[in-house]
Structure 1
């Protein structure tokens, strides 16, 4: 993991086409602006983990219930 200090208005680049800029620093919170190509997915980690957990639950679901619904 690379740790970089940045101040408001400063940026960092990831590769040639992703730029992250510090927009606001206030009360222990940081707001970032991310400029990236549309084909690059940008997700908050906690949201990604939540979706991942829901997908795991869905994979464990009893598929026989769905089969019964389809036959009715």
Structure 2
């Protein structure tokens, strides 16, 4: 991890097309401004983590549903 110190109105540039600027600091909070191409997704980490958690849960549920469908189809074949 790269750790940087920046003052208000100072910025960092990532990959020639993403700018992160310190807009304000107050108490223990930092307000950042981000400029990036529209095709770059920018999410707060807690939102990103929740999306990943939800996706993993969906995959697990889909796997369980597929298993149940397989069991049901085997039972219907055995009854025939």
Q: TM-score, normalised by structure 1?
A: 0.82
What are the equivalent positions in structure 2 for 1:43-62 lying under 5 Å apart? 43-61=43-61, 62=64
* Structure 2 residue ranges without an equivalent (≥5): 70-80
User: Number of paired residues?
Assistant: 65
What are the equivalent positions in structure 2 for 1:1-72 lying under 5 Å apart? 1-61=1-61, 62-63=64-65
When Rg is computed on C-alpha atoms for both structures, the one with the higher figure is: 2
Which residue of structure 2 lines up, in the alignment, with residue 70 of structure 1? none
User: Over aligned residue pairs, what C-alpha RMSD do you find?
Assistant: 1.3
Please give the alpha-carbon distance, in whole angstroms, between the structure 2 residues aligned to 1:38 and 1:17: 11
Q: Deviations over 1:23-70 (max 9, x none)?
A: 110010001000000011111111111111111111111326xx7xxx
Q: TM-score, normalised by structure 2?
A: 0.75
List, as ranges, runs of 4+ consecutive aligned residues in structure 1 with deviation greater than 6 Å: none
